[in-house]
Chains A and B, each alone.
Chain A
Amino acid sequence: MLAKIQVLHPGLYTSIQDLGRFCFGKFGVPQSGVMDSYSAKIANLLLNNSEDAPVLEITQMGPKLQFSEATIISICGAFINPKLNGNDILNHSVIAVKKDDVLTFGKLEYGCRAYVAIFGGFKVDLVLNSASWYEGVTNQFKLHKGDELYFTPTAPLGNQHHSGLKIKTDYIKEMVIPTFKGPEFDFLTKAQQQHLHSACFTIDKKNNRMAVQLEEPLENDLKAIITGPVLPGTIQLTPSGNLIVLMRDCQTTGGYPRILQISEEGINSLSQKLAGDRIKFILPILK
């Protein structure tokens, strides 16, 4: 028998994600998956879950959730002042939840996305081998008021905390994003390449699971490319100079020049940035 979580309030943009939907890019299906893979994995490992168990991804403003049975949960990533029945709880700890307990969140302190893991993982139907919600592939793409989530109930357990687990949080505020050259990097002028090295960029309001846009334009006269493959972490440069960083829900192909490719760590850092935050690229890291 599965136990239920009642969604009393959905939060700003809350979805179920695992590490992604792989092997279906050739059918035009985005990878999806948790935006910040580091925090999601840690949240699972704290509970002895496999690191790819489905978690709840919370964006800036948390949901209000009521548990129908006892379990244990953990929260990692952004710190959004989580509370259980109104009492403060901490990120990076194993939290025992009793029947009818209510989980809420308060003010966002740092980061952008928090991950709630639950013992055994959230139970959702797999679509194309993944639990990750994505509009058009899964029936649901974000949480709504009145929804129900499911988990396997468990008797309250002792402290499960991995004493050996070292948890990093500095990457959440890290402004330096490690990058590689993209396929069209060498078409930029030396001055443009230099500018990418040295300048700071600001996260634009237009940022979501598909892409993060940067405010400062990079003037250029690069030609469009013949539609080619792109990946999460690919930075595209549009003719009007917009820098678009593709994120986990991005399409599989695109026609703008791909000037940089950010690393997995960089994608995780960028996932924790809010509009107005500043970033800087270090490049290129080539082996």
Chain B
Amino acid sequence: MSKKYPFFSPMGDKAILIEFGPEISEITLQKVLICKKHIEIIRSKEIVEVINTYCSLLITYVCTIENVYNEFLALKSLISEADIGKNINSKLYHIPVCYEEEFGLDLYLLASQNKLSISEIIDLHTSPIYTVCFIGFLPGFLYLGGLDKKLIISRRSTPRMKVEKGAVGIGENQTGIYPKSSPGGWQIIGNSPVNFFDKKELPPCQILAGDKVKFYSVKKQEYLAIIDEMDNSNFQLKSENYVG
């Protein structure tokens, strides 16, 4: 069966899924995020929220959708009027990561499998500007796109029962940070002292889908100092406006 994109389908009687094509790419993600913003603004009264992933939008409605095909048509026209070429205002956040052995449980595995030195791994991981594609899996778990191909490694065949809070992992061509300790299957290369989810704040995540992230390497001492500052609410993530 082949689908014509964007493809609209109901998910139950209070949600509509829009698929933009089965691919992970910067272009598709931009399209997804611009349409998301447009729908959020125009339909703010009828919808609970719009969730995006790499290439889908899920719109959940306050009430049961009376006529789903009429709603498809309405969304189609909304999407066609969204300005796809527009740049999204986003922020670039600088995230400290400690890549020391104590935290980078799978650094040596990655080094031997991908024939890299540890310092090459750190260079390759801290060079790109990553895009926050969406937040999912756990509250505050950022799915980051833009990993260097040389760092691609498959997930662990058996997931760990416990991955530590802050663990920075790689799963296939994705990289991300565990915002709390949890079971997990990604290969762990470091740990970030930053809190990515604060339930006492609205919104609970400072970094949003569409924002950019760049990592910088810190030594254990600085890592511990940042944890202290985080505990005393003195730590401010370095950020700047990003136009890309």
Contacts and interface: CB of A to CB of B under 8 A. Distances in A.
A26 B205 CA distance: 10
Contact of B137 (A23, A226, A251): A251
Interface residues on B, range: 35 or more
Interface in B1-30: 1, 9-15, 17, 19, 22-24
Nearest to B142: A28
A135 to B, nearest CB: 9
A27 B19 CA distance: 20
A229 interface: yes
7 contacts: A22-B49, A136-B138, A180-B10, A180-B11, A226-B54, A252-B137, A263-B13
Contacts of A282: none
Given A27-B203, A28-B140, A180-B11, A287 B67 contact: yes
B51 A252 contact: yes
A167 interface: no
Interface SS of chain B: helix, strand, loop or mixed?
Answer: loop
A253 B136 contact: yes
A263 B68 CA distance: 15
Given A231-B12, A234-B11, A137 B22 contact: no
B49 A251 contact: no
Nearest to B36: A26
Contact of B140 (A27, A127, A227, A231): A27
B88 interface: no
A274 interface: no
A262 B48 CA distance: 19
Contact of B204 (A22, A24, A182, A252): A24
B143 to A, nearest CB: 7
Given A128-B204, A231-B15, A261-B11, A23 B56 contact: no
Contact of B56 (A136, A229, A263): A229
B1 A251 contact: no
B12 A180 contact: yes
B133 to A, nearest CB: 9
A227 B51 contact: no
Interface in A148-198: 180-183, 186-187
Contacts, number: 118
Nearest to A27: B205
A127 B198 CA distance: 10
Interface string B96-139: 00000000000000000000000000000000000000111111
Contacts of A257: none
A233 B1 contact: no
Contacts of B141: 28
B142 to A, nearest CB: 9
B149 interface: no
A229 B141 CA distance: 14
B143 A227 contact: yes
B50 interface: yes
A275 interface: no
A261 B68 CA distance: 15
A234 B10 CA distance: 12
A95 to B, nearest CB: 34
Contact of B136 (A182, A186, A251): A251
Interface string A256-287: 00100111100000000000000000000011
B53 A253 contact: yes
